[in-house]
Structure 1
Amino acid sequence: MVRTFVLMAVMTAFVGVIGLMLGGEVGLVIALGLAFAMNFFSYWNSDKAVLRMHGARPVDARLAPELWKMTETMARKAGMPMPALYIMETEQPNAFATGRNPENAAVAVTRGLLSNMSREEVAAVVAHELAHVKNRDTLTMTITATLAGAVSMLANFAIFFGGGRDRPLGIVSTIAMMILAPLAAGMVQMAISRVREYEADAEGAAICGSPDWLASALARLGQLSGRIDNIAAERNPATAHMFIVNPLHMQAVDSLFATHPPIEKRIAKLRAFGGAKGLKSSAQPSRGGPWG
């Protein structure tokens, strides 16, 4: 949490520094005010916006009885309220959580997840997403994404407001900032995402009671997600960090620019976590989807 807080502080500093360079003290106040306004809007509306982007439809105990019961069980084990439940009609197996707190949370899973995963693996994925909600990661990632957007917006403004003689920036430094500021902000955003994924893996394994279930799910997700398109995610790449595995088709991406840690490292950390916490290895999950 301290590491995440430091990274978020760096992101906020980016916004302030760009405002300061563009317009001095007045620019600093305007930039921070913009960041505050964007975060306020995101705090109340980001969950609805993201669900709408991915065409997620709400389901209840009548429409998806097995998934509902499983999520209810995982929520009870996590000691949190039952979240709103959504299904995305895409064949890529994946899932994400959103919402500003456990009382206003939503978990969305894809049709592909239900069709290709066993009951144990689906339970582990749901537990992972509930861990994000429990740890307030959904709010953290919303804020960092919003701040990253603010940095990019201000950097684009720089070409119009930063090049005059009476302004703090010259034309060369303006162009450099336009390129480097969004790049640096994106790297910080991705670093926060990677840190939170490791924590959610560990918490999710504790919730479902088996690191093996989540390790198996991650391995299957890694195999399948890269071969099946997720059109909504490709159209909205800024939401990629919210999913349990990267929904975008990106090859040979440098680790600095990855939204998720390598799956092999996540599985290795899960095994180590299970041994350290004394969580017993379970029988390998059965194959075949529970609803497909």
Structure 2
Amino acid sequence: MRRIALFIATNIAVLLLLSIVCHLLGIDAMAAERGYGGMTGLLVFAAVFGMGGAFVSLAMSKWIAKRSTGARVIEQPANETERWLVDTVRRHAQAAGIGMPEVAIYDAPEMNAFATGMSRDKALVAVSSGLLQQMDREQVGAVLGHEIGHVANGDMVTLTLIQGVLNTLVILASRIVGRVVDSWLSGGRDNRGGGIGYFVSVMVLQVVFGLFASMIVAAFSRWREYRADAAGATFAGRGAMISALQRLKVNHGESTLPTIMAAFGISGPLAAGIQRLFMSHPPLDERIAALQSGAAR
């Protein structure tokens, strides 16, 4: 649950940081004084910060992934395992109709893998050393198929679009409500510069609205895992994908993937009750059951 909380907190912290920077630089107050140029101006203001931040993160995703995990890209295979790994990714990529991704290995004890990148033809697929050591090749091939499925489905771009739109709505809604609260606290006076009531309201509302936005992002993230599992089953065989997921169940403890990359791993932390709404991955048992039943997701 700690990683789920950190993931949510990171998203909200980015929004809060943007708001504080805008406040300190006077951008928010200047825009408020001018009435944001009407609703259209407010929407543009929110979209620039909401969508802009999401797409900057996407553009930097491969660089961040390499730096944060210490992933080593295989330029020239140094041994038979690396050669097999590159050949398997190439075979899956060709079957999916996408460009050949960069292939990398990062040092971590748990079985994990992730894919990221700004487009289907310029992606990165990385696997942990623990995955290579603890899974057989049939299972690793299925995991690689799962990751290629994420790339082929455009999940990174779609997730960024959803996050950007939700960030925009959070910024927009918090400022609209913040203006109402500030006007009420100031006795109806037209305080276009934005008083303390406005600033505090925006901070609080961004946290509240950000929590709801995180639920929506997490719901999409869980849904995309079922689609990627189906892709892994297509590329490597249903039995191999089920076997890989069953093998993942022996993973114990927290993932060593950095918080910013946690949603992109092959599996994620579990939670119970209302906390399930913030899970980035469905429980492995549910994913296995979906493959066994052949249910479309």
TM range, normalised to the smaller chain?
0.7 to 0.9
Aligned counterparts of 1:152 and 1:223: Cα–Cα separation in 2: 39
Q: Which residue of 2 aligns with 1:47?
A: 62
Return 56-65 or 154-163, whichever deviates more.
154-163
**Contact kept? 1:61, 1:69, Cα under 8 Å:** no
**Contact kept? 2:115, 2:148, Cα under 8 Å:** yes
Q: Which residue of 2 aligns with 1:6?
A: none
CA shift digits 1:6-44 (9 cap, x unpaired): xxxxxxxxx9xx999996624332111222322442343
**Contact kept? 1:90, 1:110, Cα under 8 Å:** yes
* Residue 186 (1) aligns with residue 214 (2): yes
Q: Which runs of 5+ in 2 are unaligned?
A: 1-14, 20-27, 184-189
Aligned counterparts of 2:246 and 2:95: Cα–Cα separation in 1: 24
Aligned counterparts of 2:191 and 2:102: Cα–Cα separation in 1: 50
Structure 2 counterpart of 1:231, one-letter code: T
| 1:1-12 equivalent positions in 2, closer than 5 A | none
Q: Which residue of 2 aligns with 1:223?
A: 250
* Residue 241 (1) aligns with residue 263 (2): yes
Aligned counterparts of 2:87 and 2:158: Cα–Cα separation in 1: 28
TM-score (norm 1): 0.73
Structure 1 residue matching 2:182: 3-state secondary structure: coil
Structure 2 counterpart of 1:187, one-letter code: M
Structure 2 counterpart of 1:271, one-letter code: Q
Number of residue-to-residue matches in the alignment: 251
> Which one has a bigger Cα radius of gyration?
2
* Residue 252 (1) aligns with residue 272 (2): yes
| 1:110-259 equivalent positions in 2, closer than 5 A | 110-146=128-164, 164-165=182-183, 166=190, 174=202, 177-208=205-236, 210-224=237-251, 226-227=252-253, 229-233=254-258, 236=259, 238-246=260-268, 248=269, 251-252=271-272, 254-259=275-280
Q: Which runs of 5+ in 1 are unaligned?
A: 1-14, 277-292
**Contact kept? 2:102, 2:123, Cα under 8 Å:** yes
Q: 1:135 to 1:29 in 2, by over 3 A?
A: same
Deviation (angstroms), 1:263: 1.1
Aligned counterparts of 1:33 and 1:213: Cα–Cα separation in 2: 44
Structure 2 residue matching 1:107: 3-state secondary structure: strand
Q: Which residue of 2 aligns with 1:105?
A: 123
Q: Which residue of 2 aligns with 1:269?
A: 290
What's the C-alpha RMSD, in Å, of the aligned pairs?
3.5
Calculate percent identity across the aligned residue pairs. Answer: 33
Deviation (angstroms), 1:59: 1.1
